[in-house]
Amino acid sequence: GIAHDFNNILSAIIGYSELAMTHVTPDTRLERNLGQVLKASMRAKELVQQILTLTRQSEQQFEPLELGPIVKEALRFLRASLPTTIEIRQEISAGSHMVSSNATQIHQILMNLCTNAAHSMREKGGVIEVGLGDVDLAAEDVLRMPDLKPGPCVKLSVRDTGHGVDSSVIERIFDPYFTTKAPGEGTGLGLAVVQGIIKSQGGCVTVSSELGKGTVFHVFLPAITSPTKHEEQAVEPPGRGKERILFVDDEAILAELGKEALESLGYSVVAMTSSMEALAAFHDHPEKFDLVITDQTMPDMTGLVLAQKLLKIRPDIPIILCTGYSQQVTKEHTSETGIREFLMKPLILRDLARVVRRLLD
């Protein structure tokens, strides 16, 4: 499906960016630019996982977050996409309370609100003001916000100097598929998604507007006690080795990427784009390989079926199954068939190297 294809595209972007990073001089503009490519790609990776989670109606995983760095990062991305006639001002309070949230969802909230703000000023330009700070809500403050409880909150505000919104429209502004934009300019889902995300985190969003002067959205999220900060552990370099690996992926660019990435760590790699040819090669020389890495969704024979056939030939061969998305294959299912590891695309070189080294050791 679309998720599988998109994850394959991300695999190539992330993988080749990681390889390029190993060849650049530290503290250069090129390294910083590649870092931004990787950061944006990781956001896209998280967004795909969020979409898949929503379609499976599973619960999102939340973690303690400080919103300041996330808001600043989102505004940097936003600045690059907006015309110079729109100014972005930010007032981010240092040391704001933490919230239990999801970084990708916060990014999505802010991008939706700011994109709507920019749309209202696209003809004459104007100013988007983004504020972040702490508030302590009393009982009377939450009377009009039933989703919130009194107590400390983090308040995120997005204000624009656009044309404003009529009061009749304000009443329906969060309704799914309701939009005042022209056909082809919007689906009417943006603000409905924003409200859904905020409610799922125990928060609330309010809106007020005045025709000819602009609109302001206030997002309130319950604050949490800051967790004890642990010392950051040093990032270990990817594990290296000299073992022989069979890498199978029907996407030629990903097969080539896997070969180059693993060979950069010292491994000897045979990359193949046909599961049938990979089976034949393994059948002829089963002792030639120390490990197999295979994609799941491939023509002629899926990775799961390939793995089962390989294990019949040589039951002790370690196999890693990778997939961009598959409803039929889960980590539990693969372990029952004798597959040692199950990894979701897009693959991160450091994670793949760690798993490979663990299985071979």
SS (H, E, C) 274-291: CHHHHHHHHHHCHHHCCE
Residue-wise pLDDT for 349-361, tens only, equals 888 999 999 999 9
87 φ, ψ to 5°? -95, 140
Spatial distance between the Cα atoms of 230 and 224, rounded to a whole number of angstroms: 17
Give the per-residue pLDDT at 169.
84
Please provide the size of the chain in residues: 361
Spatial distance between the Cα atoms of 334 and 320, rounded to a whole number of angstroms: 9
354's CB contacts (< 8 A; 6+ apart) are 238, 239
Q: Is the pTM of this model over 0.75?
A: no
Spatial distance between the Cα atoms of 13 and 28, rounded to a whole number of angstroms: 20
Do 290 and 310 contact (CB within 8 A), yes or no? Answer: no
Spatial distance between the Cα atoms of 121 and 24, rounded to a whole number of angstroms: 41
Rounded average pLDDT per 10-residue block, the chain, 361 residues: 76 92 91 91 76 52 88 88 93 85 88 91 93 92 86 95 88 72 52 88 93 95 70 62 96 94 95 97 96 94 95 96 71 78 88 93 90
Give the per-residue pLDDT at 228.
46
| Domains in the chain: ranges and CATH | 59-224 (3.30.565.10), 244-360 (3.40.50.2300)
Residue-wise pLDDT for 237-281, tens only, equals 778 999 999 999 999 999 999 999 999 999 999 999 999 999 999
